[in-house]
């Protein structure tokens, strides 16, 4: 058994040990890309993907926007999807929330109490009081380095000799004294992941941007590993979900997921 602490970090560490994997599959359903065999049944599509990949992942990450776009049924589909994920695998809800404390309390209650997720992505722009409500329930992953083209509009601005994203990382380390905090650090800029890891040596890093966005998988893992050879969660969404448009979509999702896992295992063995 793992000696990992309880809470999100303990659940994550156990999942990494069990799967020997840092892979997180993003569950971002776009019915327009579904194979004909599921006929637009979002729940069935996602359940098949989860069933095919659950032994290969350390986490799943549904993005709430794709469920909101489904209208009235979206919340139910999201809830059913979370319930279909084995309890031993952490669920990170990608919501990127950031609002005044009173509003943040309601977001946190909905996501952790009703949906039953383990962590939520949050926006640090408005400061700690907008993030603290999430820490009362579970973990919060703070946006630090994002993968979008305009990320540099703010994240790389210099303030007192260092870029804003490193200020965010420093604050996140402070906030982690009040609960479980992680950082979102995009794989499209792996050189910045190393700098973040230096500032935040113990925080888990959620690394999107591998796959469709062509981030550097090996470099991101290498720069992101903590002192215990863990601490990274590498998210891949579209490359796994839509690996095939045919009836073999679940088998194809597993095959592509396994490919990412094998590549990361090589980095893990080399670096630890």
Task: Report the CATH fold assignment for 7-271.
Answer: TIM Barrel (3.20.20)
Between 4 and 39, name the one with better pLDDT.
39
Task: Indicate whether 1 pLDDT > 80.
Answer: no
**Which among 79, 96, 105, 109 is annotated as catalytic?**
96
Domain assignments of the chain as residue spans, ordered by start: 7-271
Task: Indicate whether 155 pLDDT > 80.
Answer: yes
Residue 220's pLDDT is 95
pLDDT tens-digit map of 160-199 = 999 999 999 999 999 999 999 999 999 999 999 999 999 9
195 is catalytic: no
Name residue 94's beta-bridge partners: 63
Residue 268's pLDDT is 55
pTM to 2 decimal places? 0.95
pLDDT tens-digit map of 70-83 = 999 999 999 999 99
Task: Indicate whether 121 pLDDT > 70.
Answer: yes
């Amino acid at each position: 058994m793992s000696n990992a602490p309880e809470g999100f970090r303990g659940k994550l560490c156990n999942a990494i040990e069990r799967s020997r994997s840092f892979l997180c599959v993003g569950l971002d359903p776009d019915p327009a890309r579904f194979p004909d065999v599921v006929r637009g049944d979002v729940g069935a599509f996602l359940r098949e993907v989860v069933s095919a990949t659950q032994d290969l992942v350390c986490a799943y990450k549904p993005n709430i926007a794709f469920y909101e776009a489904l209208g009235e049924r979206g919340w139910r589909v999201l809830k059913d999807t979370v319930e279909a994920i084995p309890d031993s695998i952490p669920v990170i809800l990608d919501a990127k929330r950031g609002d005044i404390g009173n509003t943040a309390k309601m977001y946190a209650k909905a996501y952790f109490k009703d949906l039953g997720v383990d962590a939520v992505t949050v926006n640090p722009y408005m400061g700690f009081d907008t993030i603290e409500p999430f820490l009362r329930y579970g973990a919060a992953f703070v946006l630090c380095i994002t993968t979008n083209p305009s990320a540099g509009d703010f994240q790389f601005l210099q303030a007192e000799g260092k870029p804003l994203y490193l200020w965010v990382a420093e604050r996140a380390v402070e906030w982690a004294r009040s609960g479980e905090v992680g950082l979102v650090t995009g794989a499209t800029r792996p050189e910045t992941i190393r700098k973040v890891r230096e500032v935040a040596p113990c925080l888990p890093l959620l690394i999107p941007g591998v796959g469709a966005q062509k981030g550097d998988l090996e470099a991101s893992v290498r720069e992101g590993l903590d002192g215990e050879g863990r601490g990274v969660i590498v998210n891949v969404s579209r490359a796994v979900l839509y690996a095939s448009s045919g009836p073999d979509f679940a088998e194809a999702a597993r095959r592509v997921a396994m490919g990412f896992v094998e590549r990361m295992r090589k980095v893990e063995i080399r670096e630890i």
